Amino acid sequence: MARRYEDLRAAVLGGPDHGSRHGWAVLARSGMAAWIRAVVRIPVPAKAVHHRTPEPVAAGELVEVLARMAWTAAGGCRSG
């Protein structure tokens, strides 16, 4: 419920184009109690998940990183 209210609040603050479809009209016309009764009957739309494709790593860079990790794990260069 709190998330839906915050979604509505953000939409209303974002401008007049977004408020009405998120229940702003019900809230403004009939109040919070009416909005709560209305919003519990509306299914929550699934949020789109945006996956970022990782940038490819050059094989040479990968080998260097792994070599440094192995070198550090082994104690690196010990003098004396």
> What's the pLDDT score for residue 5?
79
- Which stretches in the chain have pLDDT values below 70? 12-22, 44-45, 77-80
Question: What's the sign of the alpha-carbon dihedral 22, 25, 29, 34?
Answer: negative
Question: What's the sign of the alpha-carbon dihedral 3, 31, 28, 25?
Answer: positive
The CA distance from 54 to 48, in Å, is 19
Q: What is the pLDDT of residues 60-69, one digit of tens each?
A: 888 888 888 8
The CA distance from 43 to 27, in Å, is 18
Structure tokens given for 2: 């709190």
The CA distance from 78 to 74, in Å, is 10
